[in-house]
Structure 1
Amino acid sequence: MNFPNTSIIISVYKDTEALGFILESLENQTRLPDEIIISEDGSSTEMSNFITTQKDRFPNLIHLTQADEGWRKNIAMNNAIKTASREYLIFIDGDCVPYSTFIQAHVENAQHGIVLCGKRFELGPKFTAKIKRNELKISDIEKKFFWYLPSMIADDARHPEDGLIFKSHSFISRQIHKRYVRHILGCNFSCYKDDFLKINGFDETYRLPAEGEDVDPSWRFRGMGIELKSCRNNANILHLYHPKRFSAVEGDVNKAIMEKHISENAFFCKNGIHKE
């Protein structure tokens, strides 16, 4: 079977430590990415210096930056979409480390006219600290998930059911994927580049986190006839613990923007990759 060539787009902001774990995982994927794009919402010296040290390991790595003027992730992501030279785009956040079969699972389930939506298993603070001290690897958790599960739950892990992994197109996967997908999680989804261009990418009107990077493109995809389909428990990622970085107030601001655009049926956003 012929699988699409992939550009994996990683959204980052200063956290070089977490990015190091992601790159280690990408180096050991069962199917390697054809292109790695580090999409930085800023232009930090520490990130630039770190990526310079990784160029020999990853000759297919591209680092994109922009002025650090507050949360402008959607602008950074649109720049990454424009830069991507491969036909299939996989999106993750810079605090989420993939399982070794992550890319394979996305391309095995890839379809034109479909956005694949994954989930994330959120580690607690103690297990995240163990990973950062190199006392434990993400691959250890992947291989011995049930062994570590009780301790991870005791460490206040969230959504442990999303750490389970099943083969693509297996009976269990087919049952899981029958469930309706409400919206994308910005930290784990994929689609053909051509399909994302049909909605003009991310809406750059959103200048605060929440809604604009996941819920908003979801309804616009559906409005253009592009459906959302689950790849839950196939394409797995582990989210490294950190304190919450945004408030409900920011979400309310974004919901007001989105409701206005929904009332206008603005599936092809005016302030996206191409500007009207």
Structure 2
Amino acid sequence: MQKQITAALLISTYNWPAALDLVLSSVLLQSKMPDEILIADDGSTEETKTIIEKYKKLFKIPVLHFWQEDHGFRKTLILNKAIAGAKSDYIIEIDGDIIIHRKFIEDHINFAMPGTFVRASRGYLNKELSAKLISKEISKINIFSKNIANFFSVVRIPFLWPLFEKKYKIKGAELYEIHGCNMAFWRSDAIKVNGYNESFIGWGPEDKEFIARFLNIGLQKRFLKLGAVAFHIYHKENSRASLAENEILFKETIALKKVYCESGIDKYL
């Protein structure tokens, strides 16, 4: 039975309107709609705004566009602004290059549980299939395509969820593994830890540090395996120039058992 909670779909994006178009197209096909869509835009040009305006007319739910000027990779800031602007209880977070299965929102809502946050998986679309989907503006995907890697992340088998929920990838360093492109948490819990740490500038691992603080306040990590299926559109990797410095911040949070970041969501509330 579905829980009576409100849920927001949070989508982060930066200057890839063709991919965002496919993502939003896949949201239109959902068996259960979120209560709102939050688009966290880290400084995209007018092309992205045009796509968003198109979908605002197609959805019957609020589509909110949070935008900031492009001063480099500042994903944590725009995520905090979007979460602060949410009206919903529960945040389902994906990236703007993630096409979602029609049961994606329904699965996340059915899996939601107080006192926990959720990691889920994604399959990888190869370069050829990604280009084809974008060129033809198609968001429906055959999971048996030879152009999809990580097959067991794109198969949906709900009755097997309990086998993985609390036992899969939760020991040692794997406890902190999370995919910002497919995760879910309670908005109130995000506020308790002061949201994403805005000291993280540049790519990674802001999502790991965020959930490390969740763990430090006593929340439980649960893995939604074989559900909330998502497909990652191929693209070149982001620059790793800031990774070493950001890793230091992440390790400090673990070592010092930090539960709150100094520069976070509180300034937007």
Correspondences of 1:108-119 after superposition (within 5 Å): 108-119=110-121
CA offsets 1:151-195 (integer angstroms, 9 cap, x no match): 22xxxx43222111112xx1x222232213422210001111111
Q: CA separation in 1, counterparts of 2:134 and 2:48? A: 17
Correspondences of 1:206-225 after superposition (within 5 Å): 206-212=200-206, 214-225=207-218
Q: 1:176 aligns with which of 164, 179, 187?
A: 164
Are 1:261 and 2:253 counterparts?
Answer: yes
Q: CA separation in 2, counterparts of 1:62 and 1:50? A: 13
Correspondences of 1:1-276 after superposition (within 5 Å): 1=1, 2-59=3-60, 60-134=62-136, 137-141=138-142, 145-146=143-144, 148=145, 151-152=146-147, 157-167=148-158, 170=159, 172-177=160-165, 178-181=167-170, 182=175, 183-212=177-206, 214-247=207-240, 249-274=241-266
Q: CA separation in 1, counterparts of 2:54 and 2:162? A: 42
CA offsets 1:71-97 (integer angstroms, 9 cap, x no match): 000000000110001111110000011
Find the residue that maps to 2:140 and give its secondary structure.
helix
Query: What's the TM-score, normalizing by structure 1?
Result: 0.89
Find the residue that maps to 1:274 and give its secondary structure.
helix
Find the residue that maps to 1:266 and give its secondary structure.
coil
> Unmatched 5+ residue regions in structure 1?
none
Contact 2:116-2:222 at 8 Å conserved across structures: yes
Query: What's the TM-score, normalizing by structure 2?
Result: 0.91
Q: CA separation in 2, counterparts of 1:166 and 1:205? A: 39
Contact 2:116-2:221 at 8 Å conserved across structures: yes
Count the aligned residue pairs.
259
Structure 1 position 43, deviation (Å): 4.3
Q: CA separation in 2, counterparts of 1:30 and 1:243? A: 32
> Unmatched 5+ residue regions in structure 2?
none
Contact 2:99-2:231 at 8 Å conserved across structures: yes
Q: How big is the alpha-carbon RMSD for the aligned residues of Structure 1 and Structure 2?
A: 1.6
Find the residue that maps to 2:152 and give its secondary structure.
helix
Higher alpha-carbon deviation: 255-264 or 39-48? 255-264
Contact 1:112-1:195 at 8 Å conserved across structures: no
Q: CA separation in 2, counterparts of 1:217 and 1:52? A: 31
Q: CA separation in 1, counterparts of 2:227 and 2:263? A: 33
Contact 2:122-2:230 at 8 Å conserved across structures: yes
Q: Percent identity among equivalent residues?
A: 28
Q: Which amino acid aligns with 2:220?
A: E
